[in-house]
Amino acid sequence: MKIALSEEMRNIDKAAAEVYGLPELLLMESAGHRTAQAMASLLQGVRDKSICVLAGSGNNGGDALAASRYLQNMGAKVKVFLTCEEAHLKPAAARMEKTAAQMGIEIHKLEEDRDWNRLHLALKFTDAVLDGLLGTGFKGELKKKILRIIEEVNESQKKVLSIDIPSGVEADTGRISTVAVAADMTLTLGLPKVGHLLSPGTEMTGELIVDDIGIPQTLLQSDSIQQELLDDSLATTLLPLRGHAVHKGDCGKILVIAGSLGMTGAAALSATAALRAGAGVVTLAVPASLQPVLASQLLEVMVQPVPEKEKSEGVMGGEAALKTLLALAEKHDAVLIGPGLGRAMETQELVRMFVSRVNKPLIMDADAIYAYRSQVDDLSKLPQVPVLTPHLGEMAGLLGVSVDDLRTSLLPIVREAAAEYQCVLVVKSECTMVVYPDGMAFFTTKGNSGMATAGSGDVLAGTIAGLTMQTESGLAPLAGVYLHGLAGDLAYEEKGEALLASDIREKLAGARMELRKLQSQLK
């Protein structure tokens, strides 16, 4: 399923009218009907229930006014509160307001103190609130009247259904300037929006329902829309079935370059995750002094010693290390470098020299990304298109911005970086995002708060590496993010917020099996 930016959604609405002859009023009527049904679902029926409808001046308010009629016809007791004068309503919304008034629905303005007292009383005794204050076009700061209404709604602690996006959330970023409606359910029209998926907007969204309200699918699935949900439907296309004659060499020989003194866990997690993801052979290259420890722990992984920096036990570095790693890379199909590798100056130099000379599918994680902080432009000069797997802090550090500034414009910043530095960026957050150099961006639908644990990123990097030779070119990041998130969800069912990264790794097998079941159901 595609994800729309606010401007793209406006263009879709315009094309629906101009190309398909679907006028704004007709789509608003459909939106109102579907909103009333969603409210009935939220309340398990609306007959004899009190509904407080909040309507702004735009199309979002028009949708709410249309819904008020359907709710009244369904037996609800409806009170509408307008945030503006009737003269300031947009034409379609004004038509809906006039019809609602003719049906005898109570409609109140919010101008004098007694109007606010009436709203306060209505919120106190209502069963639910319908939020039609602001739409997807909202950006910036809230007007004082809207701010006060939202605070009243949230303080009432009543069930809330938001139309399209909770008022106060920016549709393209998820940003909240001051406050936003805390919805229990959001009915989004046409397509989901980026703001539903990124924090803090995602925390305000509640249960997300998507309804096309009759908009033609040719518009909703246009190739010009470069955001997409990484959902079950898409995931079933990513991992081809194995043939009966497959052998371990067909499933990928993966080299993992990882680990340093005190960071052996990252090396072990990433290497074993690659195997759990289905790779046929995994070799782990570690500093020579750490090889005996890891070799005794990892029975299925081949552990190779790499020369260490002179007088620095547990730290890779030097010409001999580079020569060893390049020789190993020649024998493998893909390379993961970085988990727990350390940030010694010699190690960073080794990373840069190695990745500039190896021409194999390459995944760069953690300390390998750190090695390019002061030389980010060199990423575009690499002989391959690398996959980088930073969390928000690593991404901000790589680009030389603060995490807050990065969050403010996460998608456009990451999209620009992927194009400029010619890399695939897997940005880990509450909704992990995969962005390709051509601008295509995918948002995961899997994962949970329990996955905020040390080593989770190492498992993700290993999963992507392990899938590199099992998927079509360039699809391993998508397959890896999906399976990693699904494995995390399976682990969460058993361990909750106490889950460990190793729990995610061990659930990769179950995640693959779940994906195979989905694929068989679609046959």
Residue-wise pLDDT for 240-287, tens only, equals 888 887 888 888 899 999 999 999 999 999 999 999 999 999 999 999
Query: What is the reported pLDDT for 92?
Result: 93
Instruction: Examine residue 511 and state whether it is found in any structural domain, yes or no.
Output: yes
Average pLDDT over residues 470-499: 96
pLDDT one-digit tens code per residue, 55-68: 999 999 999 999 99
| Average pLDDT over every residue of 62-76 | 97
Same domain, 96 and 10: yes
Q: Which domain holds residue 126?
A: 6-224
The whole-number average pLDDT for the span 163-187 is 97
* Residue 480 one-letter amino acid: G
Task: Specify if 133 maps to a domain.
Answer: yes
> Based on the domain organization, do 291 and 379 belong to the same domain?
yes
How far is residue 135's CA from residue 171's CA, in Å, rounded to a whole number? 8
Name the H helices within 258-408. 264-276, 291-297, 319-330, 345-355, 367-370, 392-399, 403-408
Q: Compute the C-alpha angle 298/255/351, nearest 5°.
A: 115
DSSP type of residue 81:
E
- Per-residue model confidence as pLDDT tens digits over 323-363: 999 999 999 999 999 999 999 999 999 999 999 999 999 99
Same domain flag for 208 and 243: no
**243 in the same domain as 213:** no
Give the whole-number percent of the chain exceeding pLDDT 70: 100
Task: Return the amino acid letter for 466.
Answer: G
Helices (H) and strands (E) in the chain, counts: 21, 17
- Going by pLDDT thresholds of 50, 70 and 90, the confidence category of residue 523 is low
Give one DSSP letter per residue of 117-172, joined into a string.
HHHHHHHHH-SEEEEES--TT--SPPPHHHHHHHHHHHHHT-EEEEESS-TTB-TT
**Beta strands 50-55 and 77-82, pairing class:** parallel
Let me know: does 285 contact 324? Beta carbons within 8 Å.
Answer: yes
Q: Assess if residue 1 is contained within a domain.
A: no
Give residue 202's pLDDT. Answer: 96
Reported as a single tens digit per residue, the pLDDT across 106-126 is 999 998 899 999 999 999 999
- Mean of the pLDDT values across residues 71-94? 93
Q: What angle do CA 39, 40, 46 make, to 5 degrees?
A: 110
- Token look-up 């899997």 returns 446
Confidence band of 444 (pLDDT split at 50, 70, 90): very high
Q: List the CATH number of the domain containing 263.
A: 3.40.1190.20
Q: What's the mean pLDDT in 78-106?
A: 93
Q: Could you tell me if 376 and 473 lie in one domain?
A: yes
Report the pLDDT value the prediction gives residue 103, as an integer from 0 to 100: 96
End-to-end CA distance of the chain: 20
In a domain, 265, yes or no: yes
- How many Cα atoms are found within 13 Å in the side-chain-facing hemisphere of 430? 14
522 pLDDT exceeds 90? Answer: no
Residue 99 lies in a domain: yes
Average pLDDT over residues 314-331: 95
Whether residue 214 is found in the same domain as residue 324: no
Q: How many Å apart are CA 41 and CA 263, to the nearest integer? A: 50
Query: pTM for the whole thing?
Result: 0.94
Tell whether 359 is covered by a domain: yes
CA 519 vs CA 156, 238, 245, 386: distances in Å:
45, 10, 20, 29
Mean per-residue pLDDT, 276-305: 95
Domain match, 349 and 425 both: yes
Number of domains in the chain: 2
Name the domain boundary from 224, 253, 272.
Answer: 224
- As a whole number of angstroms, the distance between CA 516 and CA 232 comes to 11
Q: Domain boundary residue among 224, 254, 271? A: 224
Say whether 427 sits in a helix, a strand or coil: strand
Mean pLDDT value of segment 131-138: 95
The overall average pLDDT reported for the chain is 95
Examine the pLDDT at 145 and tell me if it is beyond 90: yes
Question: Which residue's entry shows tokens 């909703």?
Answer: 220
The residue from 203, 224, 245 where one domain ends is 224
Number of Cβ atoms within 10 Å of the Cβ of 99: 15
| Residue pLDDT, tens place only, 9-63 | 999 999 999 999 999 999 999 999 999 999 999 999 999 999 999 999 999 999 9
Average pLDDT over residues 165-181: 96
Within a domain: residue 112? yes
Q: 229 lies in a domain? A: no
Tokens of 173: 């970023």
* CB 481, CB 515: distance < 8 Å: no
One domain for residues 262 and 206: no
pLDDT reported for residue 252: 87
Is the predicted pLDDT of residue 503 greater than 80, yes or no? yes
d(CA 423, CA 178) in angstroms, rounded, equals 35
Does 159 lie in the same domain as 218? yes
387 and 420 both lie in a single domain: yes
CA distance 113 to 129: 21
Does residue 243 sit in the same domain as residue 218? no
158 and 244 inside one domain = no
The CATH number assigned to the domain holding 213 equals: 3.40.50.10260
